[in-house]
Amino acid sequence: MEQSEENKKKVVVRVCIGTGGLAAGGKEVIEAFKKAITDFCVDIELDFTCHYQKVGCRGFCARDVLVDVVDGDTSVTYQGIKPDIAKRIVEEHLIKGEPVKEWLIDASYYAFHAKQLKILLKDCGTIDPEDIQAYINVGGYSGIKKIVSAMTPEDVINEIKASAIRGRGGAGFPTGVKWEACRKAPGDVRYIVCNADEGDPGAFMDRSIIEGNPHSVVEGLMIAAYAIGASLGYVYIRAEYPAAVDRLKLAIAQAHELGYLGNNLFGSGFHFDVRIKLGAGAFVCGEETALIASIEGERGMPRAKPPFPVHKGLWGKPTVINNVETLSNIPYIIRNGAAWYSAIGTGKSKGTKVFALTGKVKNTGLIEVPMGIRLGEIIYDIGGGIIGNKQFKAVQTGGPSGGCIPAELLDTPVDFESLGRVGSIIGSGGMVVLDETDCMVNIAKFFLEFTQAESCGKCVPCRIGTKRLLEILDRITRGLGKEGDIELLETLCADVKAASLCGLGQTAPNPILSTLKYFRGEYEAHIREKKCPAKVCKDLLTYSIIEEVCTGCGACRRACPAGAIAGDKKKPHRIDPEKCIKCGACFDVCKFASVSRE
Amino acid sequence: MAGLATVFGSGAMTNSMPEIVNNDLIFVIGSNTTETHPIIGLKMKKAFRKGAKLIVADPRRINLVRFADLWLQQRPGTDVALLNAIMHVILKESLEDNEFIKNHTEGFEEFRASLAEFTPEVGEKITGVPKEKIIKAAMLYGKAERAGIYYTMGMTQHTHGTDNVFSIANLALMTGNLGKESTGVNPLRGQNNVQGASDMGCAPNVYPGYQKVDMPQAKEKFEKEWGVSLSGKIGLTATEMTDSAISGTLKAMYIMGENPVLSDPDMHHTIKALKNLEFLVVQDIFLTETAELADVVLPAACFAEKDGTFTNTDRRVQRVRKAVNPPGDAREDSWIIAELSKRFGYEMKYNSLEDIMKEIGRLWPAVAGITYSRIEKHGIQWPCPTPEHPGTPYLFKGGFPRGKGRFTAVSYRPSAELPDDEYPFVLSTGRQLFQYHTGTMTRKTSAIEAIASQPYVEIHPEDARRLNIADGQKITVSSRRGSIDLAAKITERPLRGMVFIPFHFKEAAANVLTNTATDPVCKIPELKVCAVKIKAL
Amino acid sequence: MPKVTIDGKTVNVPEGITVLDAAKRLHISIPTLCHHPKLTPFGGCRLCLIEIKGIPRPVTSCTTPVSEGMEVTTTSPNLESLRKTVLELILSDHPNDCMVCERAGDCTLQELAYFYGIRENRFEGERRIYTKRDGNPFIERDMEKCILCGRCVKVCDEVEGVGAIDFAYRGFKSKICPPYEKDLDCEFCGQCIAVCPTGALTGKSWKQKGRQKEVREVDTTCGYCGCGCNLTLHVHGNEVIRVDSKADTINEGWLCVKGRFGYNFISSHDRLKKPLIRITLKTRDASRVTRNEVFREASWDEALDYIAERLKSIRDKHGPDSFAGLSSARATNEENYLFQKFVRAVIGTNNIDHCARY
């Protein structure tokens, strides 16, 4: 007898379509599943119906595309799925009931999640970001409904103050205090702005949140607007985030359709709407006043504070600018209460923090951890340690404004104050793990190249100061460093920090200062001995062939792009130092470790 | 100026430059302010930054349009109809200032009746400005607290120039925008010392200080001071001089620092007149087109080579100081006049230039309080009757000199020469930013010549397309009086069916084309409207 | 009126003014480069950094409004060291060619370098190199001397309302240029030159005409339109080499292209230098004959005697009303007065007019 469709059991195939998932082929994977099911239907009658659910990033981007197969209470997760594997999963798992072992997630997936505490990312990886109902089903928009009927704006501000949440954009300013200042600022028009101009190299927290749970940002904006008395909000988001922009647009459109945005919301007399403003990708536009200038159609250039945006912001009106992650937290705080939130975390740093964990760590991806977790736990427990079991050297936190924290400080708790004490910052949440093969001078140079190129050019210390810092670093890495360069770096770093106009310049020297603090010896080796201990700075390297070891196979000769290697077959080869361009091709190609790099 | 003098008893900018920044509404009509008065343009821009609204009425898309809240693109020569329609709406919406009308004006009822026919619909029909914009203009102007009107030759160089000025005055009177700071009726003077030359009595009907030559008391006063007997007969205006020279009744002329060949309408007519004279003296700093026709040319000093005073557009008497010596034998005008006078047996004996100033003060009390020492650093605005008087930034505080401001009912009269089948375009002439007047000074300045040395005619893209004219192409523009060849500049600045030619360029002198028809009252020629035809070369 | 204490001196100042302006009232000078009193504060050069009690980092005095009880320190070893660093940084990216610079002796940057005694520079490094290729006849732009103070951008936008230039690019490569780096195409008012604190913007027409210290300044009134702008003529020898305007004038120091650049006619070779008398009467077709064939030079006595004789004879024969005088809107009041007096009192007619009606 034919089973009616309704009576069949439901199987859900959940596919990650965050930017990581999409890049790994998430959409194609869904199509492959659909095709496989259709193909099998031709021959056999299936005893289940298959539903597809697109979900946002769940963090483990290193193993994308991640696919969950949910059958009743049981959920099985696959990793690294490509479209051609879909058919096998359908056949073996869905039809025959036997999960495909070789593509199942392994222990590292569980380890990756064990020490995380997911609040924002929980829904991110489970609900369909393109469906407002999915958000509503998990309690979405209940926060705003609750406050417009039962709480005054002051109540909301007090609640947020009591939660002790601090801004996730970098400075860690208490959100409730900011809202209160704006609400109390004189004026009839106020604005709420969501800062989604995530610019740190390697950071993708905000993008993932918008891609995975855009409605949490919209609801956060609504709550903030209600609290400060704004009726218009802007999301300033970079145009390089097309998927996030699309989902946000869709979310806003869906909210309009349901009457969640517009006039007289929920019959409360509260009006609110959101506009999206695309940024052109200048890093400095993440700075509040530059962001305001950019929305106003001016060049993104910071201006001096005071006046602060809460007093004189967008179009000269009191304005609150909150980061994506901050706003995304708000609905959860309202839903669960300030006490629930402030119970998470430590001392002055409450709640969780999302980090983009990258670099030389095994499990790279997006993680959400409670404030106060130790650095070591993140790197070794969540991150699974260093790739190739190399020696951990340092972790760079906070992006171009942050610093490098060395191995001996791995016990440092991750919170605003503790990271500050060791010379770094939480920042927006970048976390780059470095190992013994990373040169710290070179790392500092990398970040300075970035900040120098992104300096808006307005103030002298940042525009010229970072250029000179970069030049000094550059000459050190090229073996042209002079005695006194370290002291010059220190002086100039201090002056650039003290004299720059905005956060960009004020923090740009941090990567230099923290590496100087913990790895001064490396700088000295570069300058005095003209050596790069990590063997990265190629101008300081010399390549030679150890004649006793060389078999004369000729691999290095063939690999050398400069024709610098000569030698007869089966006889030891030689490198002509005049011609050598220090590319390292011979070093990499030699199977006998006969190329020496010093 | 005659128009304003009739209404208020005095013809000058009623308010002053610094007040502009505090206007809440600026109404610019017939003035390309940012190009012809750039610094007044800056004051206006400052006012916009402070929130002032701007209405521009101009047939051309002048630069100010960029800042305007409302742009009325009226057909050239239809200003009376435009202003009457605006005033019609102001009355309809009861935006007039009845208190002011009652206390300070006369002739309002008669004037009110004259506006009845000028509905916005009628206004639209005559001016081409949509009636919604006319209504909006009335609302903006009528509701403003401190509305200032600014105009220049776009209003006055018409056969109904005086009517235009009457209309402007009516508008300000009915809304009480007079006698208060940051309001007024403000003709912007086109040349550095037009105001001064007028004040000094360089006019056929008045002595210095606007004292009428046909009023015996005035005549006696001047006869006494100058020690001679004077003629009580009103003299010839500049346009009448040209006509009299042609008819032969005028035999000799002495032209000091003017270039009528280029600046007056119908250049061929002007040249004919000057050639017809028995004797012509021209005194200038260059051998101008006019000087070339002279029997004697006298080399004069320029502004940087002499001392004295200029009076600017807001009645501000300011110092001119000698910086360099004149070239060769060139001399100050004052020296030349005095020397010539001596040869007539009349000694103009002054120990210093300031003695002249003192004499003027004795004859015209409004400047009696102005001395060189008082204007050492900053100028003083007349009236300034005593050495203690601070000067007068705006006129008519507390009333008009002639008692009450008079409304003048004005009806719309078309321009003297309208386009027809043979001459289908309206020509308007004027200035551009870089050049100045007939170019006597700017065209001798190499940097300016490097950027703006070419004459051109502005033509609307649609007209150009129809006539198959390309940008930069040489074309012939002809009127009933002559024709000139110059490059076409295709731009959306002029109205369709209208062309504009700057008059600075002798090689394609716009005034070859213009009409000598004049306003019946003040004899100003109609340089803003005549009919021309265009042919590609 | 908040009470503020600056360097130990206490003063009551109006609400909302900046610390920089408050210091000025106390005659305490704070070095600045990007600040201009008539433009909105910029806060870019960082020279005017000051310390305020209770604020952890130095702030710019040009942007910080005063508040009640504020205690300000404008000079300290730390501040002076920061200022010196800033100046060294600017100079490390500046062609130090003061010996040939148009602005030498009249350059804020040069002054500051002098007072801070900057000879050695700790921060030698790459300098921006730009080719000069400006086609306009008025404004010389030497972008290598530009310190990006932004004054020109602000004056062009805030005062002139034109916005012909703006910041472009980022980081060390930041520069100020017209859109798409085309040649400057603007109203050429030269306001940008007037506010430029270095030799980055100068007038092409005063190139190599004379240094400021050799200049005699003469205040006068402009000879063009009716605005009556106050000019300061810069005179070198017997030549006007530059025109500027002072800040406390009716025109607030701003000028237009004609007022600022339209002065070369004064020393034009074409100026009339001698009285001229027509040689052959009645040959008046000036287009056919050259000037030399038409006129001969004469002395003043000869010319004036001749005029007097001719005018007297015409007056005697045809009456005073056969004569008319046209006076000038560009002559002074005194001259206009004398001219009409001549026409009325000497000739005896009211046939006198000028182009006011035009």
Write down the pLDDT at residue C41: 94
| DSSP summary character for residue C136 | -
Using a threshold of 3 CB pairs under 8 A, tell whether chains C and A touch: yes
| Distances in whole angstroms, Cα of residue B43 to Cα of each of B47, B241, C260, C285 | 6, 38, 18, 47
Q: Are residues C288 and C305 in the same domain?
A: yes
pLDDT for residue C292 is more than 70: no
Task: Let me know if A280 is exposed, middle or buried by CB neighbors in 10 A (0-12, 13-18, 19+).
Answer: exposed
CATH number at residue C216: 2.20.25.90
Structure tokens at A289: 């006043």
Query: What is the value of ipTM here, to two decimals?
Result: 0.92
Q: Are residues C294 and C340 in the same domain?
A: yes
Which among C227, C303, C343 has the least Cβ separation from residue B298? C303
Q: Are residues A250 and A145 in the same domain?
A: yes
B281–C335 C-beta distance less than 8 A: no
pLDDT for A205-232, tens place per residue? 999 999 999 999 999 999 999 999 999 9
Write down the pLDDT at residue B521: 81
Instruction: Return d(Cα A344, Cα A342) in angstroms, integer.
Output: 5
Q: What angle do CA B320, C159, B41 make, to 5 degrees?
A: 60
C24 within domain boundaries: yes
| Distances in whole angstroms, Cα of residue B447 to Cα of each of B435, B503, C207 | 11, 19, 13
A115 within domain boundaries: no
pLDDT for residue C281 is more than 60: no
Chain A residues with CB-CB distance to C166 below 8 A: 299
Q: Are residues A322 and A469 in the same domain?
A: no
A111 within domain boundaries: no
CB-based contact (8 Å) between C64 and chain A? yes
Q: Are residues A479 and A520 in the same domain?
A: yes
Chain B residues with CB-CB distance to C160 below 8 A: 42, 45
Judged by DSSP in three states, B26 sits in strand
B211 in Cβ contact with B219 (< 8 Å): no
A586 within domain boundaries: yes
Chain A residues with CB-CB distance to C92 below 8 A: 464, 468
A536 within domain boundaries: no
User: Please, which residues have CB within 8 angstroms of residue A130's CB and are 6 or more apart in sequence?
Assistant: A54, A247, A250
- The least confident of A99-108, A363-372, C326-335 is A99-108
* Confidence label for A4 from pLDDT (cuts 50, 70 and 90): low
pLDDT for residue C358 is more than 70: no
CATH number at residue A366: 3.10.20.600
* Length of chain A (residues): 598
| DSSP summary character for residue A94 | I
Write down the pLDDT at residue A102: 86
Judged by DSSP in three states, C40 sits in coil
B448–C257 C-beta distance less than 8 A: yes
* Confidence label for A450 from pLDDT (cuts 50, 70 and 90): very high
- Mean per-residue pLDDT pooled into runs of 10, chain B (537 residues): 64 90 96 94 95 95 95 94 96 94 92 94 96 96 95 88 91 94 92 91 93 93 94 92 95 94 88 94 95 95 96 95 97 96 94 93 95 94 94 88 85 91 93 84 86 92 94 94 93 94 89 87 86 90
B33 in Cβ contact with B47 (< 8 Å): no
User: Please, which residues have CB within 8 angstroms of residue B383's CB and are 6 or more apart in sequence?
Assistant: B365, B366, B367, B389, B391, B392
Average pLDDT, chain B: 92
B284 in Cβ contact with B261 (< 8 Å): no
CATH number at residue A333: 3.40.50.11540
Would strands B530-536 and B425-430 be described as parallel, antiparallel, or unpaired? antiparallel
CB-based contact (8 Å) between A454 and chain C? yes
Instruction: Return d(Cα B495, Cα B502) in angstroms, integer.
Output: 16
Task: Let me know if B275 is exposed, middle or buried by CB neighbors in 10 A (0-12, 13-18, 19+).
Answer: middle
The neighbour count for residue B98, using CB atoms within 10 Å, is 11
User: Please, which residues have CB within 8 angstroms of residue A103's CB and are 6 or more apart in sequence?
Assistant: A78, A79, A80, A81, A85, A89
B45 in Cβ contact with B121 (< 8 Å): no
A543 in Cβ contact with A521 (< 8 Å): no
Write down the pLDDT at residue B332: 96
Write down the pLDDT at residue A163: 95
| CATH architecture, domain defined by B425-536 | Beta Barrel (2.40)
Rounded mean pLDDT of C89-97?
Answer: 94
C90 within domain boundaries: no
The range of the structural domain enclosing residue C31 comes to 3-75
The range of the structural domain enclosing residue A384 comes to 346-435
Residue spans in chain B of domains classed CATH 3.40.228.10 = 2-188
User: Please, which residues have CB within 8 angstroms of residue A375's CB and are 6 or more apart in sequence?
Assistant: A395, A405, A409, A410, A411, A412, A413, A414
Q: Are residues A371 and A466 in the same domain?
A: no
Q: Are residues A367 and A448 in the same domain?
A: no
Question: Where does A383-437 have alpha helices with state H?
Answer: 416-421
Instruction: Return d(Cα A81, Cα A93) in angstroms, integer.
Output: 14
Chains that touch C (3 or more CB pairs under 8 A): A, B
CATH number at residue A482: 1.20.1440.230
| Distances in whole angstroms, Cα of residue A586 to Cα of each of A364, A546, A575, B454 | 30, 12, 10, 69
Instruction: Return d(Cα A211, Cα A123) in angstroms, integer.
Output: 11
A299–C85 C-beta distance less than 8 A: no
- What is the CATH code for B2-188? 3.40.228.10
Q: Tally the C-alpha atoms within 13 A of residue B298's C-alpha that lie toward its C-beta.
A: 28
For testing the chain C interface, which of B67, B319, B337 should be mutated: the one with the most C CBs within 10 Å? B337
Question: Residue C272's closest CA among C286, C293, C291?
Answer: C291
pLDDT for A115-154, tens place per residue? 999 998 888 888 899 999 999 999 999 999 999 989 999 9
C351–B241 C-beta distance less than 8 A: yes
Write down the pLDDT at residue A170: 80
**Residue corresponding to tokens 């050596």:** A531
Question: Residue B503's closest CA among B443, B459, B462, B460?
Answer: B443
Q: Tally the C-alpha atoms within 13 A of residue B127's C-alpha that lie toward its C-beta.
A: 30
Instruction: Return d(Cα B309, Cα B312) in angstroms, integer.
Output: 10
pLDDT for C172-222, tens place per residue? 999 999 999 888 889 999 999 999 999 999 999 999 998 888 899 999 999
Write down the pLDDT at residue C356: 57
C225 in Cβ contact with B436 (< 8 Å): yes
CATH number at residue C69: 3.10.20.740
A303–C60 C-beta distance less than 8 A: no
* Confidence label for A6 from pLDDT (cuts 50, 70 and 90): low
Instruction: Give chain B's radius of gyration (CA, Å).
Output: 23
AA letter at A347: G
Write down the pLDDT at residue B67: 95
Q: Are residues C316 and C258 in the same domain?
A: no
C51 within domain boundaries: yes
Write down the pLDDT at residue C291: 47
B176 in Cβ contact with B390 (< 8 Å): no
Taking the CA of residue C39 and the nearest CA in chain B, the distance in Å comes to 12
pLDDT for C242-260, tens place per residue? 999 999 999 999 999 999 9
Taking the CA of residue C132 and the nearest CA in chain A, the distance in Å comes to 21
Q: Are residues C280 and C346 in the same domain?
A: yes
Structural fold of domain B194-381: Rossmann fold (3.40.50)
Structure tokens at A140: 């979405």
Would strands A74-78 and A67-71 be described as parallel, antiparallel, or unpaired? antiparallel
For CA atoms B494, B495, B499, B501, the dihedral sign is: negative
For testing the chain C interface, which of B150, B242, B254, B267 should be mutated: the one with the most C CBs within 10 Å? B254
Chain A residues with CB-CB distance to C58 below 8 A: 498-499
- CA C151 and chain centroid, separation: 14
Write down the pLDDT at residue B442: 86
C96 in Cβ contact with C124 (< 8 Å): no
pLDDT for residue C307 is more than 80: yes
AA letter at A474: D
Residue that terminates a domain, selected from C57, C75, C93: C75
Rounded mean pLDDT of A380-409?
Answer: 92
| Distances in whole angstroms, Cα of residue B272 to Cα of each of B242, B269, B523 | 9, 5, 20
Q: Are residues A182 and A320 in the same domain?
A: yes
Residue that terminates a domain, selected from C20, C49, C75: C75
Domain count, chain A: 5
Question: Where does B190-300 have alpha helices with state H?
Answer: 194-199, 216-226, 238-247, 260-263, 267-275
User: Please, which residues have CB within 8 angstroms of residue C292's CB and are 6 or more apart in sequence?
Assistant: none
pLDDT for residue A202 is more than 90: no
Would strands C230-236 and C239-244 be described as parallel, antiparallel, or unpaired? antiparallel
B304–C228 C-beta distance less than 8 A: no
Q: B175: which strand partners?
A: none
Domain count, chain C: 3
B298–C271 C-beta distance less than 8 A: no
Helix (H) or strand (E) holding C149: none
